Amino acid sequence: MSLLEIRNLHARVGGHEILKGIDLQVNAGEVHSIMGPNGSGKSTLAQVLSRREAFEVTEGAILFHGKDLLAMKPEEAACEGIFMAFQYPVEIPGVGNAYFVRTALNAIRKYRGLDQLDAMDFLPLYREKMRLLDMDEQFMNRSVNEGFSGGEKKRNEILQMAMLEPSLAILDETDSGLDIDALRIVAQGVNAMRSPDRAMIVVTHYQRLLDYITPDFVHVLVDGRIVRSGGADLALELEEKGYVSIESEARQTAPASA
């Protein structure tokens, strides 16, 4: 059984159909990269997988660990093991960064019938992950993402991911806004989390992230459809030719669709 199985997914937002029939299978242990032009629907797919309400599924099905993902609320999907690193992380004024993650972790643990972690159990783990991501301790007590630089926000997303240990991590353009050193550190953090029972979907525009995180599969999303899938090499080809030629090649080879 695949970890994630998406069948013929159609979704709309604000009255427009954005996803127009997506099929994708992701097995535990795999890293899939999704690339594609601006506005093609990459974030939309990520939001649908996170069960954001405004993104309405009109057709198709999604199974996660064999369960009907579309029947889940966002927090249920999260507790079942889906984590999304946001393209634009949100600020929560007045809520401490460490406190927030501990609350989230305990919500997930409660859902799974596990004991609650108190601050004494939690903080050593949190500190360790912060070191791994080369984050200063001051970020522990600052408000969630408030006043963080773009790169700091992205790092904070990965820190949360490291603490929450999802079985499916969706990274939506985590590399954009990162400087070269930060990119390497974040990629290391992500690589450290690769494991046989965890899968990742990495949304990116740039090969340079994939230099660090080598994907097992690359998919090209254009106008709400996956127009090509391949191995890590496909990303290099894209870098060379651009989306336009890939898209037109795909159109030529694709069967005429309704």
Partner 1 sequence: MGSSTETIRDLTQQDYKWGFVTDIESERVPRGLTEDTIRLISAKKREPAFMLDWRLKAFRHWSSLEKAQAEPQWANVHYGPIDYQDIIYYSAPKQKPSLKSLNELDPEILRTYEKLGIPLAEQQRLAGVAVDAVFDSVSVATTFKEKLGELGIVFCSFSEAVEKYPDLVRQYLGTVVPHTDNFFAALNAAVFSDGSFVYVPKGVRCPMELSTYFRINAAETGQFERTLIIADEGAYVSYLEGCTAPIRDENQLHAAVVELVALDNAQIKYSTVQNWYPGDKQGRGGIYNFVTKRGKCAGRNSKISWTQVETGSAITWKYPGCILQGDNSVGEFYSVALTNNYQQADTGTKMIHLGKNTRSTIVSKGISAGHGQNTYRGMVKILKGATGARNYTQCDSLLIGDQCGAHTFPYIEVKNSTARMEHEASTSKIGENQIFYLQQRGLKAEEAVSMIVNGFCKQVFRELPMEFAVEAQKLLGISLEGSVG
Ligand X SMILES: Nc1ncnc2c1ncn2[C@@H]1O[C@H](COP(=O)(O)OP(=O)(O)OP(=O)(O)O)[C@@H](O)[C@H]1O
Please give the full DSSP string across 10-58, using - where no structure is assigned. EEEETTEEEEEEEEEEE-TT-EEEEE--TTSSHHHHHHHHTT-TTSEEE
Q: How far is the CB of 38 from Mg ion (least distance, A)?
A: 8
Would you say 85 or 190 has its CB closer to partner 1?
Answer: 85
Query: Whole-angstrom Cα distance, residue 256 to residue 42?
Result: 24
Q: Rounded to the nearest whole angstrom, what is the least distance from the CB of residue 31 to ligand X in the complex? A: 19
- Stretch 189-228: interaction string toward partner 1, x if CB under 8 A: ----------------------------------------
Nearer Cβ to partner 1, position 101 or 246? 101
**x/- string (CB under 5 A) for Mg ion, residues 39-78?**
---xx-----------------------------------
Round to whole Å and give the CA distance between 241 and 245. 6
Report what 78 binds from ligand X, partner 1, Mg ion, none; CB cut-off 5-8 Å by kind.
Answer: partner 1
User: Long-range CB contacts (< 8 A, 24+ apart) of 2-5?
Assistant: 2/26, 2/27, 2/63, 3/27, 3/28, 3/64, 3/65, 3/167, 3/168, 3/199, 4/49, 4/62, 4/63, 4/64, 4/168, 4/199, 5/61, 5/62, 5/63
Closer Cβ to Mg ion, 172 or 247, answer by number: 172
Cα radius of gyration rounded to whole Å, the chain = 18
**Residue 120 engages partner 1 in binding (rule: CB under 8 A):** no
Does residue 206 sit in helix, strand or coil? coil
Q: Does 74 bind partner 1 (CB under 8 A)?
A: yes
From the list ligand X, partner 1, Mg ion, none, pick the one residue 97 interacts with, judged by a Cβ distance below 5 to 8 Å according to partner type.
none
Q: How far is Cα 99 from Cα 50, in angstroms, rounded to an integer?
A: 22
Q: Which two tokens stand for residue 209?
A: 């992230």
Q: Which stretch binds partner 1 (CB under 8 A): 37-45, 80-88, 210-218, 244-252?
A: 80-88
Footprint of Mg ion on residues 74-113 (CB under 5 A)?
87
Kindly state the DSSP code that residue 134 receives in the 8-state scheme.
T
Helix axes 150-164, 97-111, angle to 10 degrees: 30
User: Which residue number places its CB atom closest to ligand X?
Assistant: 14
Residues that bind Mg ion (CB under 5 A): 42-43, 87
Residues that bind partner 1 (CB under 8 A): 50, 52-54, 73-75, 77-79, 83-84, 86, 89-95, 100-101, 103-105, 107-108, 111, 143, 160, 164
